[in-house]
Structure 1
Amino acid sequence: MNKDPMQNPKFKRSAVQPEQAQQLIMPYVKQLGTEQVPLTEARGRFLAESVRAPHPYPHFRRSGMDGYALRSEDTRGASTDQPITFEVIDAVPAGSLPNVPLRPGTAARIMTGAKVPDEADAVVMLEMTEKQEQDGRTWMTLKREISAGTNLTPVGRELQAEDLLLEAGRMISAGETTVLATFGYHQVQVRRRPRVAICSTGSELLRVEEPLQDGRIRNSNTYTLACQVQDAGGEPYILEAIADDLQLAKQRVMKALEEYDIVITTGGVSVGDYDIMADLVQGGSLNLLFNKVAMRPGSVTTAAVYKDKLLFALSGNPGACFVGFELFARPAIRGMLGAPDPYLPHMEAVLGQDYDKINNFTRFVRGSLQFKEGKVFVHPAKLDESGVMITIKDSEVLIVIPPTSTGVKAGQLVTAIRLPQGG
């Protein structure tokens, strides 16, 4: 006797809320090991350990101006009517050291960034002085008093020795690189990048380089996901697409789970006769976390665990695949890298136009940002259906539209999730 197909577990799914789905994933997100990389290769990596200043910065008193280093007490009484003249007995370019000690009534010509002589406590800028030369000697005249500390950067003005420079979990970009290079960190201890396998399913898929065929589509999701993995900080590995064959899919996916840190599939998670991923995650080898989320697009988004390895089975629809990654897979990757807050930033914004769709589930609507009159406005994309791909390229935010039976009117405050921008 044939079994009722509607008794198949993939037809009897219990939806979890998006926030609950994220919480179900996070216990399985473990920070990866560490590796040391050259500073030149550290951009975009996450520090595995906190970094402290090995010395104060600056570590010597330096000049903030081109001018003359002198003793401020020697300038007392200087004015337009009573200028004071100093003999210039030394010259200190940046990178050099003073040659002779300053005596009362003497000064040293000095350049920006150069070490200030120990006897000096101020630097007067060049434009405030007049220079004379006579009998092979150089003189400088000053017509105003100079306070101690003028144009002089003291030792440790920015940082003292052992001050915290960068905390563990911080992503390295231009500013962090400046700090690390300044303190001589030419090798950096960072978290290993998660190795993320990406695999599309479906007999309808063509390789990108293949000619178009009637009834078939090119495998674009794989390349979208590879970019998203890189943006999140992982290393993508594109695997060969899997045709609609359950046993083959199981074999490939289980092999990938053994070899990689995370596996992401796209397609085959719905309830159709050939939606093999929906059947695979019910097979007993995997610990199913959820297979339905109360969200649009991507309600069939699925997550499972195998030996502490996460499997994300995302929708084959481009829009749903894109959103599912950003909400669930991206935080997992960032968490494995040690990011203190793995989730995308949220902001409050004004809805720029009516959104009339009625929702039983929360909608994550692709949209754009606008800054106007001191406020942040968000505008839903004109085409935002699950299967639409063209608006992904213009999406700056996901606008969160809660369940509603009336829609949401322009001018209402909504939550917007800021999408990562390439660069």
Structure 2
Amino acid sequence: MTELDFQGKTRFDRRAVRVDEAQRRLLEAVRPLAAEPVPLWRCVGRYPAEHSYATADWPPFARSGLDGYAVQAADIAQATPERPALLRVIDTIAAGQVSTAIVEPGTAVRIMTGAAVPEGADAVVMLEQTANAPAAGPGETASVLVKQPVASGRNIASRGEEFSCGSGIARPGERLRPGHIALLGTFGYAELSVVRRPRVAIFATGTELLSIEAPLEPGRIRDSNSSMVAALVKDAGCEPLPYGRLTDDPEMIVSALTAAFREADAVVTTGGVSVGDYDIMAGLLRQLKTASASGGAAGEIGQGATAAIGPVTDRAAGSGGTAPVKAAAYEEPPVAADLSGSLLFDKVAMRPGSPTSAALVNGKPLFALSGNPGACYVGFELFARPTLLRMQGCGDPLPRTVTAELAGPVTKGSPHDRYVRAKLFEQGGRLYVDPLAFGQSSMMASLPWANALVRISAGREGAEAGMAVQAIVLP
């Protein structure tokens, strides 16, 4: 195991993979987590771990679709408002009741919505198409006047019309919506076996970072990435575990990662993935890359002596103090860490966020995203969200892509495909996508209004307004 090489040439030896290839590697590296029983009402947005089936025919009996009268259609076939059909009312049925009366020619049963249709009736005429008729005399049964004909079978939901017993209701890979919850409740599922939600540890690296509540200092910025990523993790249906801020200290980061991988199902870090002298995450990932290349599919992450300045909030340590100032010194031999795995990629052919990296560590995904907020956001949507959805059991985790007309030009070219934050909208029956201002990787101003990422193919010229482009629809 070699110590972290911050100055060596290996930091530039990074071969870019295409976005779709990076996504493929991630999705092939993970599997859905274990199943857990969850009360039905809490299952919306989750993914079932097994198939669910109708436990009975639905409806389980022929039922009325509205308030009115159960009749024999032949009795009212010639009915008109001027010459209504006169029928004798023999019973009244509320929802939840079953009548013992049998509808014979010349008779009708008053019925409410959802009630079981009595034997002998083959249609229900709505209340608005009837009128009460007075009884013929004392002790006589009331009658009803029907003013419109109704075809046989009208306004009756027959048994098994929607589902036959054993029909499929929900299947693995399918996101449960409120409509699924209604169906599953109908068929007696008080709880459901669903895939567990991933717990995702979140770190922001960089000595320059301050806590959100801290006043600004010269040369330092507040850590907005941690909260943004936590919100994205929550939005993806997972449980965020904010581990806070870590200074540019390899030993500290390895220790924190070790603790995080014990508690979490995945880890997201922001910052430290470029080729700078203090890009710690890039150095750690290079160790995986080097160890994997020399010793098989899995390597170990070691740690050397540290150079850390400034405050750090460490979930594992539970402290938020100020780390002592240390001189930069990387000569000490590495110390073995309880982390092993393989690098999936350490560069992607895209802008922004080409240094975005990913690895499988202790069998769990590590997403090393850019520290620039815009690039961090794009990296999460392209790589972390689909992977986390797959871990939840989603059968189609990749983001939806649509073709739209570019509403404004993208003047800047790029050696790689560019993913530009944009506003997707429909106008006059056509779909447009409008690139937003402040789209550089370090800029945040456009983030709240972006509902799409428009992909601009690599080239010197960018793209002109009016071109047909591919847009990734954001949640």
TM-score w.r.t. the length of structure 1 is 0.94
Counterparts in 2 of 1:399 and 1:144: CA distance versus 1, 3 Å: closer
Distance in 1 between residues matched to 2:7 and 2:204, nearest whole Å: 26
1:217-249: CA deviations, max 9, x gaps? 111111111111122221110003111111111
For the Cα contact (< 8 Å) 1:51–1:168, is it kept in 2? no
2:382 aligns with one of 327, 351, 376: 327
For the Cα contact (< 8 Å) 2:64–2:155, is it kept in 1? yes
Match of 2:285 in 1: 281
Match of 1:350 in 2: 405
Match of 2:164 in 1: 160
Q: CA deviation at 1:83?
A: 4.0
For the Cα contact (< 8 Å) 2:38–2:192, is it kept in 1? yes
For the Cα contact (< 8 Å) 2:410–2:462, is it kept in 1? yes
Match of 1:138 in 2: 142
Match of 2:333 in 1: none
Distance in 1 between residues matched to 2:473 and 2:244, nearest whole Å: 32
Q: CA deviation at 1:141?
A: 2.0
Counterpart check, 1:151 vs 2:155: yes
1:227 aligns with one of 214, 225, 231: 231
Distance in 1 between residues matched to 2:80 and 2:42, nearest whole Å: 56
Q: Percent of aligned pairs with the same residue? A: 43
1:201 aligns with one of 199, 202, 205: 205
Relative to structure 2, which stretch is displaced further, 64-73 or 238-247? 64-73
Distance in 2 between residues matched to 1:144 and 1:232, nearest whole Å: 54
1:365 aligns with one of 420, 423, 426: 420
Counterpart check, 1:398 vs 2:453: yes
Counterparts in 2 of 1:35 and 1:5: CA distance versus 1, 3 Å: closer
Relative to structure 2, which stretch is displaced further, 238-247 or 142-151? 142-151
Counterparts in 2 of 1:77 and 1:413: CA distance versus 1, 3 Å: closer
Match of 1:417 in 2: 472
Q: How does 1:211-226 map to 2 (within 5 A)?
A: 211-226=215-230
Relative to structure 2, which stretch is displaced further, 248-257 or 29-38? 248-257
Q: CA RMSD in A?
A: 1.8
Report the 3-state secondary structure (helix = DSSP H, G, I; strand = E; otherwise coil) of the residue aligned with 2:203.
strand
Distance in 2 between residues matched to 1:223 and 1:390, nearest whole Å: 16
Counterpart check, 1:316 vs 2:371: yes
For the Cα contact (< 8 Å) 1:304–1:312, is it kept in 2? yes
Distance in 2 between residues matched to 1:383 and 1:369, nearest whole Å: 16
For the Cα contact (< 8 Å) 1:351–1:378, is it kept in 2? yes
* Aligned residue type for 2:173: G
Report the 3-state secondary structure (helix = DSSP H, G, I; strand = E; otherwise coil) of the residue aligned with 1:32.
coil
Match of 2:104 in 1: 103
For the Cα contact (< 8 Å) 2:208–2:221, is it kept in 1? yes
Q: How does 1:152-191 map to 2 (within 5 A)?
A: 152-191=156-195
Match of 2:94 in 1: 93
Report the 3-state secondary structure (helix = DSSP H, G, I; strand = E; otherwise coil) of the residue aligned with 1:263.
strand
For the Cα contact (< 8 Å) 2:423–2:435, is it kept in 1? yes
Q: CA deviation at 1:392?
A: 0.8
Counterpart check, 1:268 vs 2:272: yes
TM-score w.r.t. the length of structure 2 is 0.84
Q: CA deviation at 1:145?
A: 3.9
Distance in 2 between residues matched to 1:81 and 1:329, nearest whole Å: 70
Q: CA deviation at 1:44?
A: 1.4
1:335-357: CA deviations, max 9, x gaps? 11111111110000100011110
Match of 2:54 in 1: 53
Distance in 1 between residues matched to 2:79 and 2:400, nearest whole Å: 58
Counterpart check, 1:251 vs 2:306: no
Counterparts in 2 of 1:240 and 1:406: CA distance versus 1, 3 Å: closer
For the Cα contact (< 8 Å) 1:369–1:378, is it kept in 2? yes
1:192 aligns with one of 193, 196, 214: 196
Counterpart check, 1:64 vs 2:65: yes
* Aligned residue type for 2:406: L
Report the 3-state secondary structure (helix = DSSP H, G, I; strand = E; otherwise coil) of the residue aligned with 1:283.
helix
Counterparts in 2 of 1:206 and 1:148: CA distance versus 1, 3 Å: same
Distance in 1 between residues matched to 2:222 and 2:443, nearest whole Å: 14
Distance in 1 between residues matched to 2:112 and 2:255, nearest whole Å: 69
* Aligned residue type for 1:127: E
Distance in 2 between residues matched to 1:235 and 1:294, nearest whole Å: 30
* Aligned residue type for 2:401: H
For the Cα contact (< 8 Å) 2:196–2:392, is it kept in 1? yes
Q: Mind listing any 5+ residue stretches in structure 1 that lack a counterpart? A: none
Counterpart check, 1:117 vs 2:118: yes
* Aligned residue type for 1:64: G
Counterparts in 2 of 1:107 and 1:335: CA distance versus 1, 3 Å: same
Q: CA deviation at 1:99?
A: 4.2
Counterparts in 2 of 1:341 and 1:70: CA distance versus 1, 3 Å: same
Relative to structure 2, which stretch is displaced further, 134-143 or 373-382? 134-143
For the Cα contact (< 8 Å) 2:5–2:283, is it kept in 1? no
Counterparts in 2 of 1:351 and 1:145: CA distance versus 1, 3 Å: closer
Distance in 2 between residues matched to 1:81 and 1:310, nearest whole Å: 76
Q: CA deviation at 1:147?
A: 2.4
Counterparts in 2 of 1:229 and 1:5: CA distance versus 1, 3 Å: closer
Relative to structure 2, which stretch is displaced further, 316-325 or 253-262? 253-262
Q: How does 1:35-50 map to 2 (within 5 A)?
A: 35-50=36-51
Distance in 2 between residues matched to 1:301 and 1:360, nearest whole Å: 16
For the Cα contact (< 8 Å) 1:199–1:238, is it kept in 2? yes
Counterparts in 2 of 1:341 and 1:386: CA distance versus 1, 3 Å: same
Report the 3-state secondary structure (helix = DSSP H, G, I; strand = E; otherwise coil) of the residue aligned with 2:446.
helix
For the Cα contact (< 8 Å) 2:226–2:244, is it kept in 1? no
* Aligned residue type for 2:89: V
Distance in 1 between residues matched to 2:95 and 2:5, nearest whole Å: 84
Distance in 2 between residues matched to 1:318 and 1:79, nearest whole Å: 72
Q: Mind listing any 5+ residue stretches in structure 2 that lack a counterpart? A: 289-299, 301-340
